Structure 1
């Protein structure tokens, strides 16, 4: 596969990142949110030309690379300072989210069991990635996967706008806002974006919290596979499937945290790495914006969206109240 086919899209991501930084500095807006807006305008205005698609599709790679490099700016001491509390909140909120979505889907909105499970996994763990992983384990239909994925993307788009506004209005601290975004929003990209839109520290806490959620995807897939296997209508997830869906940038992130804790990086090197991951995030978020397409969001069924909306309101309020109490 020729690298030339990626070049036009990569050039667009770079130009978009430069434009986002310039606009942010000029008008006082957060440059990461501007980057998402630029991608959104392209996708929903003239549309993404075919020649740009391969390069733009690499935006998930740049997001993962940025998260890995961010590990160099953190230490185990800083993480462990409130790590046990954050882990407790993560596990509790995942459990509450899955129970609330499953209950609403089955008893209030009358959705099919598997569709409810896909929505619960997407809301509880890591968005579309969790939807796809669980779908393979429970043998969900293609239309159910499509509905669940579209619903997750809808709320990714909404929370990117709403969370920064709520955080500003409530005057949330960096730790509270970052962990709140990390435990209650759905997909990794939007979580990182709104975290860093609030502050550098909030972005770091949002990312760490979200990574801890992502790392639990294997347990959730196994739990759902076991449940549906008891009904005689589920599949058995293989080690290959679990490894394929596991977010491997978590391992890279942890490796750099260990190196930073050992004092491997000088202050100058850490500054350079921080600058590098900020630019990688800009590239990633320009691409992320192109995935928010209004025509696809309009196809989302109203009932799945209502179930997830009620769940999001409940879980967001619960997790925020819990975090304010703990921190």
Structure 2
């Protein structure tokens, strides 16, 4: 029997309540209930705010997101993944490298943003959003102001792309698989990628999550690379004495292991169609609760306070990479 800590209950009730309202509105109006959950959460969070009593429970939304992604593995057809595997790996490697190098160049050369902030913007844009910002910040012992600056900029684009990407898909009639691969390759944080993908379709969502998790796996390598570069310039660093494997594993998103395990179990035939359908339904509810929490934590005032130079750097890089990436994905898939 699963027990829930009493301090978590008010926040969990708030998340579930917002999710239920989002489902109701999605059934009445031609709106995707996952997107509605984010919008409702943002509306509540920026008007009434999160009650102190509910803060602990609301903070669990990242756990539900990761659990939902793990459960989604049951719906992934491994034969499709294997067929697309080499193409996906090449695309991920190219996009990650191109984005990081482009953001670093734009920040340092065109917009005169020096040091840690440029690197944190590059990591957040190139890999997995705020998670990458935090991981690389830890590996290079970045200043807290640089972390806050980069994280806020990335959150701004998480909010913008969550709306813009599905709108582009509808406007130009992108096939579901193409959209999912494109979103997974070029959007920033895992939550908005999953939300945008499943807002388009189940197929788009599965491909978006699959590609995004592949991209997330690069976080360990990039964190180690930045640690080595900064340690050399500083003559050593906070993580210089740690082994390479430890440096790779610490920032690695552990839920990816669970996702891969569920994919393996499902594709070995250990789950029947009824089990897979039940897990898909469970994933939908987990995403619903998680996205309500994601919306609650969006702060419009904080996004407005972000300086224009980091925003311009990421905007130019995103438009460049997203446009080129879409052309490549349409050709390859």
Superposition TM-score tier, normalisation by shorter sequence: over 0.9
Whether 1:57 aligns to 2:63 is no
Please report how far the alpha carbon of residue 244 of structure 1 lies from its aligned counterpart in structure 2 after TM superposition.
Answer: 3.7
C-alpha contact (below 8 Å) 1:40/1:292 kept by paired residues: yes
Which residue matches 1:252?
258
C-alpha distance in 2, partners of 1:233/1:60? 37
- Preserved CA contact (<8 Å) 1:94 1:125: yes
Q: Which residue of 1 aligns with 2:147?
A: 145
Alignment match of 1:113 (pick from 99, 112, 115):
115
Query: Is the contact made by 1:174 and 1:202 (CA closer than 8 Å) also made in structure 2?
Result: yes
Map of 1:300 onto structure 2: 306
CA-CA distance at 1:78 after TM superposition: 2.0
Distance 1:26 1:152 in 2: 33
* Residue 265 of structure 1 pairs with residue 256 of structure 2: no
- Contact 1:138–1:234 (Cα < 8 Å) also in 2: no
Aligned-partner Cα distance in 1 for 2:236–2:203: 42
Which among 208, 224, 227 is matched to residue 226 of structure 2?
A: 224
**CA offset at residue 144 of structure 1?**
0.5
TM-score w.r.t. structure 1 length? 0.97
Matches within 5 A, 1:31-110: 31-110=33-112
Is 2:224–2:247's contact at 8 Å kept on the other side of the alignment?
A: no
CA distance in 2, matches of 1:38, 1:283: 12
Note the alpha carbon deviations across 1:279-317, whole angstroms, 9 max, x for none: 000000000001211111112111111111110100100
User: Secondary structure at 1:160's aligned position in 2?
Assistant: helix
Is 1:198 the counterpart of 2:204? The answer is no
User: What's the CA shift for 1:240?
Assistant: 5.1
CA distance in structure 1 between the aligned counterparts of 2:41 and 2:125, rounded to whole angstroms: 24
- Work out the CA distance in 2 between the residues paired with 1:211 and 1:234: 31
8 Å CA contact 1:126–1:188 kept in 2: the answer is yes
Counterpart residue number, 2:10? 8
Q: Name the CA distance, whole Å, in 2 between partners of 1:157 and 1:72.
A: 28
Decide which moves more: 226-235 or 37-46.
226-235
Are positions 1:315 and 2:317 aligned together? no
Give me the whole-angstrom Cα distance separating, in 1, the residues matched to 2:229 and 2:261. 34
Q: What SS does the aligned partner of 2:306 have?
A: coil
* Per-residue CA distance 1:136-193 (angstroms, 9 max, x = gap): 2222211111100000001001001111100110111111100110011100000000
What's the CA shift string for 1:14-67, capped at 9, x where partnerless?
Answer: 111111111001001001000000110111111111111100110000011111
Question: In the aligned structure 1, how far is the partner of 2:250 from the partner of 2:100?
Answer: 22
In the TM superposition, what whole-angstrom CA distance separates every residue of 1:209-260 from its partner, at most 9, and x where no partner exists?
0000111100000111111122125522645564342211111110011111
How many pairs align? Answer: 326
- Note if contact 1:225-1:234 (Cα within 8 Å) is conserved in structure 2: no
Residues 274/194 of structure 1: CA separation in 2 closer, same or farther (3 Å cut): same
- Structure-1 residue corresponding to 2:133: 131
> Is the contact between residue 66 and residue 276 of structure 1 (CA under 8 Å) also seen in structure 2?
yes
Partner of 1:274: 280
RMSD: 1.3
2:107 is paired with a residue whose SS is helix
List gaps (5 residues or longer) in structure 2: none
Alpha-carbon deviation of 1:113?
A: 2.1
**What residue ranges of structure 1 are gaps of 5+ in the alignment?**
none
CA distance, structure 1, for counterparts of residue 321 and residue 275 of structure 2: 39
1:324 corresponds to which of 321, 325, 330? 330
